[in-house]
Structure 1
């Protein structure tokens, strides 16, 4: 009985790992999908995830999750970049070469961090939003 239980636990663990890897591959395979860090302004903790931007919204999925639903949906028409800076001493969880954007959204202030190679395309997407109203 113990051997069967160990095999079952092993199979379930393997299944969770496979689902996690397939989810990540699916998220990163889409057009406009990039690795992006997110934190609410004032929070000390960054969360890494995969963001899809295109159409009228940025959809952000937590990287360490099995959920297929985005944790954040930021509407492009209500999205404003207030400032940008390099990662600093308060951003220890981030790689040193990322750019941090302080943003205003309908859901409140957010900070987004991304690789410099991602920044140009992302800012073009934000700036090409149709006028609000």
Structure 2
């Protein structure tokens, strides 16, 4: 085979891999949202520098936990999860500086506290309403004074 035929075969294989990856992302997203609604939820993974370290993702409520999945991975498992009784809402703010380009449009940055430290998430206003309702809707028998 000539060199250009090898090059054409390699380009075709790379294109096929890209299409399969995209199809895998679509199937994964539909699988995640099958057992309950998902919503756009970004997480500030690295807090070492201001306004940096944001990763786009999806959030899903699963019983007593909030699960966070990265967008551009094929893994069916959540990258992070937080238990409802360990999170406490601490306030919200508008994205500033480079955060505006890193996050989904019209998302707010919220701060929460957990036993592992401060957690920063970004979500839409309607998702924030659902998040606050989920935090307040603890099951009967919960020790409300523990916080």
Q: TM-score range by the shorter chain?
A: 0.7 to 0.9
What residue number does 1:73 align with? Answer: 81
Q: 5 Å matches for 1:87-106?
A: 87-89=95-97, 91-92=99-100, 93-95=102-104, 97-106=106-115
What residue number does 1:18 align with? Answer: 23
Q: Which residue of 108, 112, 116 corresponds with 2:125? A: 116
Q: CA deviation at 1:127?
A: 1.2
Between stretches 90-99 and 59-68, larger displacement belongs to: 90-99
Tell which structure's C-alpha radius of gyration is larger: 2
Matched, 1:84 2:92: yes
Judging by fraction of residues, say which structure has more helix.
2
Judging by fraction of residues, say which structure has more strand.
1
Q: Identify the structure with bigger relative contact order (alpha carbons < 8 Å, sequence gap 6+).
A: 1
Q: 1:47 to 1:5 in 2, by over 3 A?
A: closer
**TM-score normalized with structure 2 length:** 0.76
What residue number does 2:70 align with? Answer: 62
**Do the aligned residues in 1 keep the contact of 2:40 with 2:58 (CA within 8 Å)?**
yes
Secondary structure of the residue that 1:100 maps to in structure 2?
Answer: strand
Give the aligned CA root-mean-square deviation in angstroms.
Answer: 2.4
Matched, 1:38 2:43: yes
Between the two proteins, the alignment pairs up a number of residues equal to: 133
